[in-house]
């Protein structure tokens, strides 16, 4: 039996609507609605092709209610509980401490500590295996990312790896070469969002400049057969997120997604959720609804699951 695994899940993109309501109430934050159904269209995707700007806009209220490090810890804990509810055997949860700290100017190191503590409590309570990945939010710039990295490395022992996320086109990998050198020297493994909002060259840069052994999304590799061969030969893991890519208009439809091509060319491609709370999905949705629409057969699904077990950092 191949374990059920999600390798690309942002815990700050997976906050329960009920929790947003409760935290807003406790922290005296006025939301655009005061019940689950009223708030839902403000914090989740409710139309098929909203586009990137609308997608990112859904993070406003979930981030606005994080007024203390303990709130961040609660979100982390509940992510482990949700993984249990989805019957995941193993999940890699990622988060950007700066992004979570921003609305209320929290101490990023306190956010990292609270998130790590929430994960540890969740693992103990729910028995799901969890790997924790720190994110540098490139959109804040290189200087802030050094501070974000410092906060993460203060709790180095709680982390499996480091990721680079945010505005891929405006903040290329070369701006973060030194950050990732430091992270690799500290023994962290590297993944990076690449080939989502920028082209195939961004994927090559993530591998060569940042030392990534896995790539988040990697969609644009579809434009470059030589790169697909390099990814297959190099054993680079590809963390595909089907519904996220459709919702952000990275691709026009499930049918246009390259995941099937990746699998057939021997890339270590996998199926993941990205921001399940924002996208209003589960991993089961991705396997049972999204993947068949992307042209995947049961044999493809089995291969994707086996790939996830192979490239997981904590198994
Ligand atoms: Zn992502």
Q: What mean pLDDT do residues 253-273 have? A: 98
Name the residue range of residue 284's domain: 5-311
Count CA atoms closer than 13 A to 3's CA, side-chain side: 20
pLDDT digit string, tens, across residues 221-233: 999 999 999 999 9
Annotation marks residue 196 as catalytic: yes
Predicted pLDDT of residue 35: 98
pLDDT: which is higher, 9 or 52: 9
Distance CA 177, CA 179 (A): 6
Gap from CA of 47 to ligand 1 centroid (Å): 20
Q: What is the mean pLDDT of the chain?
A: 97
CATH code for the domain of 51:
3.20.20.140
Gap from CA of 229 to ligand 1 centroid (Å): 23
Q: What mean pLDDT do residues 32-46 have? A: 97
Residue 203: is its pLDDT beyond 90? Answer: yes
Instruction: Name the strands in the sheet holding 161-165, side by side, starting at the edge strand that comes first in the sequence.
Output: 5-10, 90-95, 129-137, 161-165, 189-194, 214-217, 237-240, 268-271
Q: What mean pLDDT do residues 105-112 have? A: 98
- For the chain, what is the domain count? 1
Predicted pLDDT of residue 49: 86
Gap from CA of 233 to ligand 1 centroid (Å): 24
Predicted pLDDT of residue 48: 83
Gap from CA of 275 to ligand 1 centroid (Å): 7
Pick the catalytic residue: 113, 196, 239, 286?
A: 196
Residue 64: is its pLDDT beyond 70? Answer: yes
* 315 — pLDDT class (breaks 50, 70, 90): low
Residue 52: is its pLDDT beyond 90? Answer: no
Residue 51: is its pLDDT beyond 80? Answer: yes
What percent of the residues of the chain are helix, what percent strand, and what percent coil, each to the nearest 5?
55, 15, 30
Strand-pairing partners, residue 136, are 164
**Secondary structure (3-state) at 5:** strand
pLDDT digit string, tens, across residues 141-179: 999 999 999 999 999 999 999 999 999 999 999 999 999
Strand-pairing partners, residue 205, are none
Residue 138: is its pLDDT beyond 90? Answer: yes
Predicted pLDDT of residue 289: 98
């Amino acid at each position: 039996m191949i374990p059920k695994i999600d390798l690309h899940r942002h815990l700050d993109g997976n906050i329960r609507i009920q929790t947003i309501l409760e935290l807003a109430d406790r922290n005296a934050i006025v939301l655009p609605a005061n019940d689950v159904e009223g708030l839902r269209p403000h914090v989740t995707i409710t139309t098929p092709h909203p586009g990137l700007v609308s997608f990112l806009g859904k993070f406003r209220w979930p981030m606005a209610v994080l007024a203390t490090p303990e709130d961040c810890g609660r979100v982390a804990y509940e992510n482990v509980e949700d993984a249990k509810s989805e019957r995941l055997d193993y999940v890699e949860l990622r988060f950007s401490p700066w992004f979570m700290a921003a609305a209320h100017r929290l101490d990023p190191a306190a956010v990292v500590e609270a998130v790590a503590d929430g994960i540890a409590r969740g693992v103990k309570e729910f028995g799901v295996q969890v790997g924790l990945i720190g994110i540098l939010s490139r959109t804040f710039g290189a200087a802030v990312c050094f501070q974000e990295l410092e906060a993460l490395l203060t709790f180095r022992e709680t982390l499996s790896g480091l990721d680079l996320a945010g505005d891929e086109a405006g903040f290329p990998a070369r701006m973060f070469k030194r950050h990732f050198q430091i992270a690799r020297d500290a023994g962290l493994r590297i993944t990076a969002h690449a080939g989502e909002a920028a082209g195939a060259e961004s994927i090559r840069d993530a591998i060569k400049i940042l030392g990534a052994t896995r790539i988040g999304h990697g969609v644009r590799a579809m434009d470059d057969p030589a790169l697909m061969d390099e990814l297959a030969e190099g054993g680079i893991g590809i963390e595909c997120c089907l519904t996220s890519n459709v919702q952000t208009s990275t691709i026009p439809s499930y049918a246009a997604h390259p995941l099937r091509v990746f699998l057939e060319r021997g890339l270590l491609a996998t199926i993941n959720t990205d921001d399940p709370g924002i996208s209003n999905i589960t991993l089961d949705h991705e396997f049972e609804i999204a993947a068949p629409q992307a042209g995947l057969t049961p044999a493809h699904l089995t291969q994707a699951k086996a790939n996830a077990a192979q490239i997981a950092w904590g198994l």
